[in-house]
Amino acid sequence: MTTIQSKINLKKMQASADEACRLMKVLANRDRMLLLCEISQGEKCVGELEEALDIHQPTLSQQLTVLRNEELVKTRREGKQIYYSLSSSEALEVMSVLYKNYCGK
């Protein structure tokens, strides 16, 4: 095991810890993590997410609401369709690290 290459500023970490923990709590749910993975590949409508991930109503709506409330995704309406896209660069970076360490092996 190695150490973090740059020195950690403890004061900055203390000031940001709540926000970082909030993001990790959202990502700790399997459905939300998979939704973010799928949405990180490009804008998706609810039907596309349901089909790709096999997550059905009402679970899908509940988890998308959490992602929206935490401002990790944003929405766009086109007629009756609602499209979701990623709105958090921090979430994308964390997802990239998780993918590299767990899926890139």
In the chain, what are the domain boundaries? Answer: 31-103
pTM summary value: 0.87
Instruction: Provide DSSP, 13-62.
Output: HHHHHHHHHHHHHHHTSHHHHHHHHHHHTS-EEHHHHHHHHT--TTHHHH
What is residue 66's predicted lDDT score, i.e. its pLDDT?
98
Residues 39-78 have pLDDT tens digits of 999 999 999 999 999 999 999 999 999 999 999 999 999 9
Confidence bin at 81 (pLDDT 50/70/90): very high
What is residue 1's predicted lDDT score, i.e. its pLDDT?
59
What is residue 4's predicted lDDT score, i.e. its pLDDT?
66
Q: Does domain 31-103 have CATH number 3.40.50.720?
A: no
